[in-house]
Amino acid sequence: MLHVQALIPVALSTLFRISAYLFLQVIPSPILAIVLPIAFSAWIIALWMLPSPSERKEESDGKAHPTRTATVAPFHYHSFGRLIEAQVYVESEDIVLNILLSLPSSSRRVRWVTNAINIALFLAAAEFLCTPFLDSASDIIFTRVGAVYPDNVKIVARYPPIDDITQSIRIIWREAPKSGAQEISWHDGPLFNFDENRDWVDVVRIKGLWPNSHYEYSLATTNGTLLPYPSTPIKFHTFPDPRLPSGNKFSFLVSSCMTTNFPYLPFQGRRIKGYDLLSNLLYPKDSAYNSTTDTDVAASKTLTKERSMLPEFLLFLGDFIYADVPIYTGSTLEDYRRLYRRNYQSSSFRKIYERLPIFHAYDDHEIINNYAGDGDDLKPPFPNASDAFEIYNANPNYDSIHESHYYYDFRYGDSAFFVMDTRRYRSSATDDLSARVMLGDAQLAAFYNWLSRANDTAVFKFVVTSVPFTTLWGHDAATDSWAGFPAERTSLLQAMHSVPNVIILSGDRHEFAAIEYNHDSLHTVREFSTSPLSMFYIPLYRTLKMQGAEVVTRIKHRLNMTNEGPEYITVEEQIPAENVFKYIPSGNYKWSTIDVDTTDLEMPVLRLKLTVDGKTAYSYTLNGTPIKLHTSTALGVFVSTGIKDMFNKIGIHPSKWF
């Protein structure tokens, strides 16, 4: 006779399978990382302790039914003080259903398949969990472009002593050759100083460059021998001089949050699918972008046209690594550095960082979930976490106006950017939210100073924050995003309302939202929050409200036709002070492409295109407020390309005079 306990393995198997699916395909939660081994172990124990279904079947009727699976279980209940026993039959001839639901079966083959599925799921979860510990990526070699200026550029590289290469390594660079042009000789650049204490990573500058020009670099030994990596030169484009009044037309990318191999696929521990999708869209013909010599004129023109449409850089707004998801990998220096190395060794990421400058902010998962530093640089685990971030992502960024800090600002022509540090100085959670601050005194002063300078020297002003500025997201965003810092947020928003064309860029929430902040008389501020680039999103569960409770009153003047002729009437309307005008929560792979066109200062335009899972999901056009810029003259305004070439030939570099 089959006992009720026979259903225990079914329940445990079902719990394990649901947990495994959620863990590997939906959200790699630390809670599920604990549930999985417990449920799997309990299922194994239950199978071992209970008799097999075939034995139970023989006990129940003494007959075998090769074409039918059947189980019999007693059901006990009390009636008027008497114990009554009934038998409950669970029968199924559907083998697929049996396997899917882990139902008991007298078929040995079905039981083997059922057990094999659970074992395979357990091994998959184990691979996903263990790979960050087992894959040290200690031999990774890479180089990429960091901060780009009109006349210089930062280059970061990692080159450990591999293959007996122990001598000094230097940058060699030149202007990117044009089709049919005379071969351009290489210039010796600065030497790298690779050191084990910095995990064999160093950053150097190439100086004396021309604004708005194309260059390429490679790596060589001090005697001029090219190193095997990179196999082809890395190309880059210097930014236009911000003092020139000609206006600019360019695009850039923005996103945040990425991890390797999620949603999970077997034996793909180094893949970051979001970057694969991005690369496929930006560089569909890899060979065209890896070629250093274009002999065909038509191909050269096509390549130039394609390059002109490519983004100039990627703004990555934090959670570059997940030190605590699905489990905390550890707090040592090596624990954090290993996660950065693993990302840089990814061929998916390499296809992007070897072609596109990347400027970084950081958020909590580079440290630990919902981290608040309180301005204490010795607060664990910040020292080791910040060391790894600094080596790999912060040093290649633009220099902060305050040494050894991670907030910074930069310009692309007449567009200005301020990238915040929202973790190092923020107050810990407290009952009095009005007392909390996020930026700290020095950063707050730097931001206000930047906003004042950008007011009449830049058309669009981009405020970059790793966490959303909006108060409309719920759950932990109520305290972890700017919603948890109401006093400081209110002051910042009031200042931004006074400046035209302010755009806030944020990430963190693994969703996309476009929000507008309205004022009764000042400028509207807009926020675009985009994430994840390659990570989980949560189906069904939503915490974003579509608008806030506060309203503002705006006065509009409308033209009204009367018998006596046209007249203007004044109309008051109430609108939300904070309002979501687009919300797209779904998608594991999201990034926004932002096109900026300020070539007509009377009609500056910003266009946003959201890409979700490789397809365009939303487009938006913003007609900016015309700005009369305060500009200064520069030599580059008057120097033509021909004169520039002549200067180059005689060894004069006018870009140094800027």
Is 161 among the domain residues? no
User: Any idea which of 93-97, 284-288, 565-569, 653-657 has the lowest mean pLDDT?
Assistant: 653-657
Is 330 among the domain residues? yes
Q: Which long-range contacts (CB under 8 A, 24 or more apart) does 128-133 make?
A: 128/23, 128/24, 128/28, 128/261, 128/264, 128/269, 128/326, 129/33, 129/326, 129/327, 131/260, 131/261, 131/269, 132/329, 132/338, 132/339, 132/342, 133/329
Residue with tokens 């010795």: 378
Is 162 among the domain residues? no
Task: Compute the 3-state secondary structure of the chain and give helix, strand, coil in percent, each to the nearest 5.
Answer: 30, 25, 45
Higher pLDDT, 308 or 436: 436
Q: Are residues 245 and 384 in the same domain?
A: yes
Q: Are residues 389 and 271 in the same domain?
A: yes
The reply to whether omega before 311 is within 30° of 0 (cis) is: no
Higher pLDDT, 59 or 233: 233
Taking 60 as the threshold, does the pLDDT of residue 288 lie above it? no
Would you tell me how many other CB atoms lie within 10 Å of the CB of residue 230? 20
Dist. CA 171–CA 186, nearest whole Å = 10
With contact defined as beta carbons under 8 Å apart, do 217 and 189 qualify? yes
Higher pLDDT, 423 or 638: 423
Burial class (CB in 10 A: 0-12, 13-18, 19+), 53: buried
SS3 label, residue 552:
strand
Q: Are residues 118 and 256 in the same domain?
A: no
Taking 70 as the threshold, does the pLDDT of residue 427 lie above it? yes
Taking 60 as the threshold, does the pLDDT of residue 416 lie above it? yes
Average pLDDT over residues 17-29: 97
On average, the pLDDT of the chain sits at 86
Q: Are residues 457 and 604 in the same domain?
A: yes
Nearest to 412 by CA among 148, 632, 154, 641: 148
Indicate the pTM of the whole model: 0.88
Tokens of 454: 């950008």
Higher pLDDT, 102 or 461: 461
Identify the sign of the CA torsion 133, 138, 141, 147.
Answer: positive
Number of folded domains that form the chain: 2
Is 158 among the domain residues? no
At residue 632 the predicted structure's pLDDT band, cuts being 50, 70 and 90, is: low
Which parts of 177-325 are beta strand (E)? Answer: 187-191, 201-206, 214-221, 234-237, 249-255, 314-316
Average pLDDT over residues 103-113: 82
Pairing of strands 408-412, 525-529: unpaired
Integer CA distances (angstroms), 380 to 331, 334, 374, 386, in order: 8, 15, 11, 10
With contact defined as beta carbons under 8 Å apart, do 429 and 419 qualify? no
Rounded percentage of the chain residues whose pLDDT exceeds 70: 83
pLDDT the model gives residue 606: 98
Average pLDDT over residues 507-524: 97
Dist. CA 463–CA 419, nearest whole Å = 6
Q: Are residues 243 and 109 in the same domain?
A: no
User: Any idea which of 109-118, 174-183, 372-381 has the lowest mean pLDDT?
Assistant: 174-183
Final residue belonging to a domain, choices 134, 156, 179:
134
Taking 90 as the threshold, does the pLDDT of residue 75 lie above it? no
Taking 90 as the threshold, does the pLDDT of residue 290 lie above it? no
Dist. CA 140–CA 142, nearest whole Å = 7
Is 51 among the domain residues? yes
Is 592 among the domain residues? yes
Residue 443 maps to which CATH number? 3.60.21.70
Q: Are residues 321 and 442 in the same domain?
A: yes
Structural domain of 94: 4-134
Is 460 among the domain residues? yes
Taking 50 as the threshold, does the pLDDT of residue 167 lie above it? yes
pLDDT the model gives residue 569: 77
Average pLDDT over residues 207-223: 95
Q: Are residues 243 and 98 in the same domain?
A: no
Q: Are residues 385 and 534 in the same domain?
A: yes
Taking 70 as the threshold, does the pLDDT of residue 92 lie above it? no
Tokens of 488: 């400081």
Is 229 among the domain residues? no
Taking 90 as the threshold, does the pLDDT of residue 287 lie above it? no
pLDDT the model gives residue 150: 97
- Residue pLDDT, tens place only, 308-338: 579 999 999 999 999 999 999 999 999 999 9
Q: Are residues 363 and 479 in the same domain?
A: yes
Taking 60 as the threshold, does the pLDDT of residue 439 lie above it? yes
Final residue belonging to a domain, choices 134, 168, 201:
134
Q: Which long-range contacts (CB under 8 A, 24 or more apart) does 548-555 make?
A: 548/471, 548/472, 548/576, 548/577, 548/578, 548/579, 550/576, 550/577, 550/578, 551/575, 551/576, 551/577, 552/518, 552/519, 552/520, 552/576, 552/577, 553/520, 554/518, 554/520, 554/521, 555/520
Higher pLDDT, 78 or 374: 374
Buried b (16+ CB within 10 A) or exposed e, 432-466: eeeebbbbbeebbebbeebbeebbebbbbbbbbbb
pLDDT the model gives residue 106: 74
pLDDT the model gives residue 77: 38
Higher pLDDT, 582 or 182: 582
Q: Are residues 127 and 251 in the same domain?
A: no
Taking 50 as the threshold, does the pLDDT of residue 293 lie above it? no
357: left (phi over 0), alpha (psi -120 to 50) or beta: beta
Final residue belonging to a domain, choices 112, 134, 156:
134
SS3 label, residue 297:
helix
Average pLDDT over residues 23-43: 96
SS3 label, residue 304:
helix
Q: Which long-range contacts (CB under 8 A, 24 or more apart) does 181-189 make?
A: 186/218, 189/217
Average pLDDT over residues 213-221: 96
How far, rounded to the nearest angstrom, does the alpha carbon of residue 11 sit from its chain's CA centroid? 38
With contact defined as beta carbons under 8 Å apart, do 611 and 594 qualify? no
Average pLDDT over residues 550-576: 81
Q: Are residues 130 and 243 in the same domain?
A: no
User: Any idea which of 363-367, 534-538, 572-576 has the lowest mean pLDDT?
Assistant: 572-576
The one-letter code for the residue type at 92 is S
